Amino acid sequence: MSFVYVLGIGQTVFGRQDKLTVNDLGAAAVLAAIKDAEISPKDFQTAYCGTMYGPSMTVESILIRVGVDRIPMYTVENACASGSSAIHLLYRDISLGIYDVGIALGAESLSSFSRKFGKGLIAFEDDLQGELALTMPSFFAKLCNRLMEKRGATLEDICYPSIKNHRAGMNNPYSQYKKEVTFAEIMASPMIADPITVLQCCPQSDGAAAVVLCSEEYYKKHNKKTHRPPVRIAGSVISCSGAEDASYDPLALRSMIEGARKAYEMAGIDPLKDINVVELHDAFSGEELAAYEMLGLCKSGEGVAFARSRAVELGGRCPVNPSGGLQSMGHPLGASGVRVVNDIARQLWGEAGANQVKGAKVGMAQMLGGVLTNIESPVAAGVQILTR
């Protein structure tokens, strides 16, 4: 398998943009990525787009707007891991030598979805447990309660990622929220599923992100940004669950644990020693706290202590979500898996501005998507390791 390099990235501001369609948002992100890569869009040999609620033939509709047609294109749906899946499929094509260059994007307009179906994400058809209110908030409430019962976490620990990530989002020009929150404000916000309150939840958002990937040979011929250190995807995994994984133990989701392990093996790294920065799925504040252990950023049972040491803040051993994460960035579902890869690329290029992790050379991007109920819980975890 050959090396796969990041040639260019682009994205829109995330937030409520109800006057823009999925096609508008996707085209803007693609144009930004093309401009950043400094190549002709006619060079693209294939394209993948991650979206959960986009229209039929989303990727074709987006790319034809920027003059890209008559190449193989695929629209991918894997819940919140849709964008991660689009990147993984493009990575696979290039690493196997099928293509030299292509684009992966993610685009979502939850405003458009809400206009059609009402606010909120409703249960899927035949999801009996979802219809009984066993939805993501209730699952992650169970996870938070398990953190307090099994790991000794306090409510302050549960809320810490939200506080940290809202503070980081203040410096991100693409973020939906640019406002700090306090523990008192979080706990005073409306209760969703005990102990989860509104300010522990990411917002619904509109937005798009895109990344141009290429082979080593293409990179050597076409990379014009010589000031950037070469950044490549050293490992990429989509890991899917079994039927009862989530009901077994919410603190030990096998799709996350095995996906991360496989990605580390592909990249040849030790997460405890080598990872400098992480962007991960923090749809709920306590979810990030639990992810530290499942992704191997600390030893088993030490996630709460890891957070309390402030190792996950800028200046710490392994900053997590220095972009502001989903808590501050917002979460246009299909776009987030691409956005986290873009943010890691910025970090490794040294282009993250006020949120730059000094000397970052290895980073991880992770997304988790699925129907997280209790028994019938299909889950897909996307993990990409980037190195310079």
Q: Report yes or no: 357 and 313 within 8 Å, Cβ to Cβ.
A: no
| Phi, psi (deg, nearest 5) at residue 375 | -110, -65
Q: Report yes or no: 104 and 48 within 8 Å, Cβ to Cβ.
A: yes
Beta pairing class for 196-197 and 191-193: antiparallel
**Which of 1, 16, 11, 50 minimizes the C-alpha distance to 33?**
11
CB atoms inside a 10 Å sphere around CB 96 = 11
Nearest 5 degrees, angle CA 385-CA 263-CA 168?
40
Beta pairing class for 101-109 and 47-50: parallel
| Phi, psi (deg, nearest 5) at residue 240 | -110, 150
80 an active-site residue? yes
Beta pairing class for 232-240 and 379-387: antiparallel
Task: Compute the radius of gyration of the chain from its Cα atoms.
Answer: 19
> Residue 187: what residue type?
M
- DSSP H or E run through 257: helix 254-267
Q: How far apart are CA 164 and CA 186, in angstroms?
A: 12
Among 80, 159, 202, 214, which one carries the catalytic annotation?
A: 80
Tokens of 336: 């987030």
Q: Coil, strand or helix: which one is 58?
A: helix
Question: Which residues belong to the active site?
Answer: 80
